[in-house]
Amino acid sequence: MGSLPFLHDPLENSSSHLTKALDTEEFRKQGHMVIDFIADYYQNIEKYPVLSRVEPGYLKKCLPESAPYNPESIQTILQDVKDHIIPGLTHWQSPNFFAYFSSTASTAGFLGEMLITGFNVVGFNWVSSPAATELEHMVMDWLADMLQLPKSFHFSGNGGGVLHGSTCEAIVCTMAAARDQMLSRIGSENLGKLVVYGSDQTHSTLQKATQIVGINPENFRAIKTTKSTGFALSPAMLRLTISSDRAKGLVPLFLCATMGTTATTAIDPLGAVCNVAKDYGMWVHVDAAYAGSACICPEFRHFIDGVEGANSFSFNPHKWLFTAMDCCCLWVENPSALINSLSTNLEYLRNKASDTKQVVDYKNWQIALSRRFRALKLWLVLRSYGVANLRKFIRSHVKIAKIFEGLVRMDNRFEIVVPRNFSLVCFRISLSAIVSDDHYDGEEYNMVNEINCKLLEAINASGSVFMTHAVVGGVYVLRCAVGATLTEEKHIREAWKAVQGQAHTILSACIVDSA
Amino acid sequence: MGSLPFLHDPLENSSSHLTKALDTEEFRKQGHMVIDFIADYYQNIEKYPVLSRVEPGYLKKCLPESAPYNPESIQTILQDVKDHIIPGLTHWQSPNFFAYFSSTASTAGFLGEMLITGFNVVGFNWVSSPAATELEHMVMDWLADMLQLPKSFHFSGNGGGVLHGSTCEAIVCTMAAARDQMLSRIGSENLGKLVVYGSDQTHSTLQKATQIVGINPENFRAIKTTKSTGFALSPAMLRLTISSDRAKGLVPLFLCATMGTTATTAIDPLGAVCNVAKDYGMWVHVDAAYAGSACICPEFRHFIDGVEGANSFSFNPHKWLFTAMDCCCLWVENPSALINSLSTNLEYLRNKASDTKQVVDYKNWQIALSRRFRALKLWLVLRSYGVANLRKFIRSHVKIAKIFEGLVRMDNRFEIVVPRNFSLVCFRISLSAIVSDDHYDGEEYNMVNEINCKLLEAINASGSVFMTHAVVGGVYVLRCAVGATLTEEKHIREAWKAVQGQAHTILSACIVDSA
């Protein structure tokens, strides 16, 4: 049970030791100290290996087994952050972070989080902090406007938007709404017949949400995609799968279409798949977690053409719109479906404003009752940078990715595996760099996958960059996802040199091996 | 669609306007500015009406209809926060906030949030930031120790803890785990037979979770409580209800027992209800959202005696352990039940550390894939204050509540409705203050409820304090929940004066009316 002095409480009767938990002057002093600490961290961020090098269990060895009984100074704690936490971080804000999709920090997003935490209001309903609800309402309409979402998703068009923490939450909520809407028509005894559709490239969040809301796991369809459609969902395959399910007496419920898949940023053809879904009365959710942000630029907006056929749409400003974690925007065409599934009527929250139904009570649009004032950080980001700069930031990342793509194309040992849509480049050492023969067999396919896997490990072990991988159509690809706020052209050029350097070593060894 | 210059992009070809989204020196300058802004807010917080006085729709009138195209200065934005946001806040950090349960801000919690946002890592699995996982692991064991939770909830006892955002998330996850465990035994076709139990005082989060995970809403039991048991769940009633369900062929699945209900901080007898649940093979979750924090003090720990019979336990440090929103600690005895229900195997997250199963991948313990580094703020709170001061803070709130209770008892127009357990006092103007006759009828009961409702409205309209209400056993009670970090004895004495003043006015009018 550790070594806490549980029964003896030496300080119990001495009030002299009572530190205040919120003393304005202490707050000011320590706050300034931590601002400088973080600014220094950003200043030095390129000095750290991007991917942490610690071994599992490292922290246990550095820190005590139980909470301290007596207070410790902020200086001591910050020293421990420097000595023990920072070495265990994978530096998502490093300009050399090209893994997963980024989580873009920004000054405005940070300041927004400070205000959120400073006010620390819990905006479950309107009255508990009207500004929290009304600013969210407003910011969601602003963003809907920036993305040119159909009027039906705006509050003014009888739809509406809400801030969730994650795409999974957005999908759980919309799927529960779809499920309850459907069951109210066909009877709750038919829950076991409901079917959910996505592609084999849809984020696994869909499968998790399906499981959480109690849909039979056997009724989850991950429709196969191929390279021929750029790993996008085929409307014909979708229709075929749905018909087959219908023939078995099952009930098609929910389709998640993706705009910018995680593996390769593939784009499901929204218009066509929405048409198929419409024929079967299904709910369509569009997951644009990463690439949604790009649609604030006119030149990328066409990728969500057809979204007007969907019932809901979500994207994550914490990924690529310079808003700190966590922040997922969800719009629905029919808020009452959401509210019917997620409402609770709590006597202790009853108030006149809610009773008159003049106001939005966001607790009925999400899983939790409690909620942070997330709109504040989005509002700060939108205002501090303005639409003009936000577009510039997005375009600058895309430009950097294009440069990387160009560098890859110039090196004939490498290939681009799928066309680049946004700021993700999917590349690898090509088969031809290893085998001169044109008659490749399965073994050689495996070999090239293994070599690329080794290449990624070597790149990441160097500490100079961090990239991740995907496997699509049996092909192991390296993902270079440009999106960290601090990344500039020079970083991608250095990253490419690092890739080339490691590739040289690996390919040389290869040739020696086969010689 | 608003008035965004969507097609014209005047800045597109001019790089001179490219503000940096993360410039170290700008960050430093603006960060210091916002620290001072928030410190000033705390300094002036008592000047604001605690409950916001704005009318629905107020913000729309103050702010533009669409996002600005060009950047705005932080000074302009902060001025708008002052002019338009602060008036729309209900001031949860005011020392005169006695509503709901508090969300306790603290300097350490704030600094923790700053570091979380500064690093902005996404710790879905170990490798994505080992420190995030390992610190969470450690802090959850520290806290389990502080609460003297059974060894079986500690990682070292093959259980383990995880940080969620809210109790609802904790209940959704544990209920999904319980559901899947049960269905794997009895077959998924029996989902419609599963039954969930709580009391009529259990937080509505339980009902919402039941609905989300796809349990038939008709199979949700809110067992009636009465004043005779202090509105706690009766083990006998629980057994009776379960037997009756079993007799109908239903399958008892999940019980949520509460330690400190929202309305009155009633305490379900954990040992006894766990014994009943055990007889039926049910999962028991203990929701100690608010009062769990008190159990770090030895004198309150006995309230969770019997917790060793439960399968999971949660409490919210964001409520009463000086940790900013959001932070809910969940411990489970059997993490693999959780992991079996919530796991996803994502190729793009594959890594050696996870493959060897040496590490915890917290994405499999929660709804979302993404997660903030919440452990950092808890760690800062525990270290900055130490167990000694945290106990002091809790005790100081309890002491202030006791003072309020004493004041109420001294005024014979008022009554304490249920015994005070922690820092919540449930009180009201008593029937005898209004009606001298001993033969009360239903009409008089309604009248006293109405008068108390009016009293609460008058108190809150004054702006000097904010309290909320509950209705238990048909009785409308005022809740004075002490828990804001800044609340001192003087504030509760002023609050009582405000209550008395309003009561005087209302009761005088009453007497005039009936005269």
**Are the beta carbons of A27 and B387 separated by less than 8 Å?**
no
A-B C-beta contacts closer than 8 Å: 546
pLDDT of residue B512: 60
Residue of A371, A387, A457 to mutate for B, most B C-beta atoms under 10 A? A387
| Across B14-28, average pLDDT | 77
At A243-258, the pLDDT tens digits run 999 999 999 999 999 9
**What pLDDT, on a 0 to 100 scale, did the predictor assign at position A514?**
56
Please give the pLDDT value at position B437: 62
- Is residue A513's pLDDT more than 90? no
pLDDT over threshold 60, residue B511: yes
pLDDT at res. A440: 65
CB of A192 within 8 Å of a chain B CB? The answer is: yes
Give contacts of A 76-105 with B, CB under 8 A.
76-77, 81, 84-93, 100, 103-105
What is residue B317's predicted lDDT score, i.e. its pLDDT?
98
B127 exposure class (CB count in 10 Å sphere: 0-12, 13-18, 19+): buried
Contact A92 B135 (CB under 8 A): no
pLDDT at residue B260 in the model: 98
Contacts of B215 in chain A (CB under 8 A): 214
* Percentages (nearest 5) of helix, strand, coil residues in chain A: 50, 10, 35
- Give the residue among B300, B388, B494, B382 at the shortest CA–CA distance from A15: B388
Of B31, B128, B470, the CB nearest to A347: B470
Contact flag A130-B58 (C-beta cutoff 8 Å): yes
Mean pLDDT within A453-460: 97
Tokens of A258: 């993706």
- What is the layout of strands, in order, in the sheet containing A160-164? A160-164, A328-332, A312-315, A283-287, A251-258, A194-199, A220-223
Spelled out in words, what is the top-level CATH class assigned to the domain B29-90? mainly alpha
Looking at residue B1, its pLDDT comes to 38
The pLDDT assigned to A353 comes to: 82
Of A16-25, A261-270, B147-156, which gets the smallest average pLDDT? Answer: A16-25
pLDDT higher than threshold 60 for residue A218: yes
Strands A414-416 and A328-332: what pairing? unpaired
Q: Decide if A432 touches B, using CB distance below 8 A.
A: no
**CATH, domain range B388-514:** 3.90.1150.10
Could you give the ipTM of this predicted complex?
Answer: 0.95
Measured between CB atoms, does B178 come within 8 Å of chain A?
no
B472 in Cβ contact with B263 (< 8 Å)? yes
Which pLDDT score, from 0 to 100, does residue A15 have?
Answer: 44
Give per-residue pLDDT as tens, B437-486.
Answer: 666 677 788 899 999 999 999 999 999 999 999 999 999 999 999 999 99
Residue A131 to residue B88, Cβ atoms within 8 A: yes
Quote the pLDDT of residue A28. 97
For A291-352, give the DSSP string. GGGGGGSHHHHGGGTTGGG-SEEEE-HHHHSS--S--EEEEES-HHHHHHHH----GGG--H
Provide the strand spans (E) within A125-211. Answer: 160-164, 194-199
DSSP state of B83: I
Between chains, do A22 and B167 touch, taking CB under 8 Å as contact? no
Topology classification of domain B109-383: Aspartate Aminotransferase; domain 2 (3.40.640)
- pLDDT, tens digit (0-9, with 9 covering 90-100), for A366-406: 999 999 999 999 999 999 999 999 999 999 999 999 999 99
Q: Which of chain A's residues have a Cβ under 8 Å away from the Cβ of B23?
A: 107
Are A108 and B21 in contact (CB < 8 Å)?
Answer: yes
Interface with chain A: mutation pick from B45, B119, B140, highest number of A CBs within 10 Å: B119
Is A157 within 8 Å of chain B by CB? no
CB-based contact, A2 to chain B, within 8 Å: yes
Model confidence at B17, pLDDT cuts 50, 70, 90, reads very low
Quick check: bond before B326 cis, omega within 30?
yes
Given this model, what pLDDT does residue A17 score?
A: 46
pLDDT in tens, A136-172: 999 999 999 999 999 999 998 999 999 999 999 999 9
Residue ranges of B 23-42 with Cβ closer than 8 A to chain A: 23-28, 30-32, 34-39, 41-42
Helix (H) or strand (E) holding B481: strand B475-481
Q: Which residues of B touch A31 (CB under 8 A)?
A: 35, 38-39, 107, 110-111, 114
Share of chain B above pLDDT 70, in %: 95
Residue with tokens 């996982």: B133
How do strand A466-472 and strand B220-223 relate by DSSP bridges? unpaired
Q: Which helix (H) or strand (E) holds B28?
A: helix B24-44
**Does B2 lie at the interface with A, CB-CB under 8 angstroms?**
yes
Q: Which residues of A touch B100 (CB under 8 A)?
A: 122, 128, 348-349
Statement: residue B59 has pLDDT above 50: yes
pLDDT band at A179 (very low <50, low <70, confident <90, very high): very high
B13 pLDDT exceeds 90? no
Closest CA to B252 of B232, B226, B273, B269: B273
Partner residue facing A110 (CB), from B117, B165, B372: B117
Q: What is the pLDDT of residues A321-350, one digit of tens each?
A: 999 999 999 999 999 999 999 998 777 778
B334 touches B159 (CB < 8 A): yes
Instruction: Kindly report, residue by residue over A404-449, the tens digit of the pLDDT.
Output: 999 999 999 999 999 999 999 999 999 888 876 666 677 788 899 9
In this structure, of A348-362, B358-372, B414-428, the range with the lowest mean pLDDT score is A348-362
Strands B312-315 and B251-258: unpaired
Q: Which band of pLDDT confidence, cut at 50, 70 and 90, is reported for residue A197?
A: very high
Across the interface, of A56, A111, A471, the residue whose CB is closest to B34 is A111
Q: Which of A348, A372, A393 sits opposite B21 (nearest CB)?
A: A393
Q: Shortest CB distance from B470 goes to which of A42, A137, A348?
A: A348
* For residues B22-32, average pLDDT: 96
Query: What does the pLDDT look like over A52-98, one tens digit per residue?
Result: 999 999 999 999 999 999 999 999 999 999 999 999 999 999 999 99
Q: Quick one: which of B361, B124, B130 has its CA closest to A90?
A: B130
Mean pLDDT of B269-275: 98
- What's the angle, vertex CA B344, arms to CA B339 and CA B345, rounded to 5? 120
Angstrom distance (rounded) from CA B338 to CA B172: 11
The two three-digit tokens of residue A272, written as one number = 């066509």
Answer whether residue A105 shows pLDDT above 90: yes
Tell me whether residues B111 and A74 touch, CB distance under 8 A.
yes
The pLDDT value recorded for residue B440 is 65
DSSP A151: G
| pLDDT, tens digit (0-9, with 9 covering 90-100), for B392-427 | 999 999 999 999 999 999 999 999 999 999 999 999
| Cα–Cα dist B322/A120, whole Å | 11
Q: Check whether B16 has a pLDDT greater than 80.
A: no
pLDDT tens per residue across span A288-304: 999 999 999 999 999 99
**Block residue for tokens 């001591």:** A76
User: Residue B353: which pLDDT band, with cuts at 50, 70 and 90?
Assistant: confident
Measured distance CA(B155)–CA(B266) in Å, rounded: 30
pLDDT band at B97; cut points 50, 70, 90: very high
Q: What is the mean pLDDT of chain A?
A: 93
Domain A383-514, CATH class in plain words: alpha beta
CA distance B515 to chain A (A): 30
What would the mean pLDDT of A3-26 be, rounded to a whole number? 62
Q: Determine, for residues B21 and A368 on separate chains, whether the beta-carbon distance falls below 8 Å.
A: no
> Strands of A466-472's sheet, edge to edge?
A97-98, A466-472, A475-481, A424-429, A414-416
Report the gap between the CA of B381 and the closest CA in chain A (Å).
Answer: 9
In CATH, what is the architecture of A22-91?
A: Up-down Bundle (1.20)
The answer to whether the Cβ–Cβ distance between A382 and B68 falls below 8 Å is: yes
What digits encode the pLDDT tens for the residues B66-91? 999 999 999 999 999 999 999 999 99
Instruction: Tell the residue number behind the tokens 């779809």, with chain if given.
Output: A178
Mean pLDDT, rounded, for A450-479: 96
Could you tell me the two tokens for A421? Answer: 């849509």
User: CA B169 to CA A412: how far, in whole Å?
Assistant: 50
**Domain boundaries of chain B, sorted by first residue:** 29-90, 109-383, 388-514
Residue B122 near chain A (CB below 8 Å) = yes
Stretch B144-156: mean pLDDT: 96
Model confidence at B2, in pLDDT bands (50, 70, 90)? very low
Within an 8 Å CB–CB cutoff, is residue A18 touching chain B?
A: yes
Q: What average pLDDT does the segment A189-203 reach? A: 97
- Which chain A residues are within 8 Å of B29, Cβ to Cβ? none
| Residues of B whose CB is below 8 A from A115 | 34, 37-38, 81
List the CATH code of the domain at A122-373: 3.40.640.10
* Mean pLDDT in residue range B29-52: 97
Residue B126, chain A, CB below 8 Å: the answer is yes
Q: Which residues pair with A1 in a beta bridge?
A: none
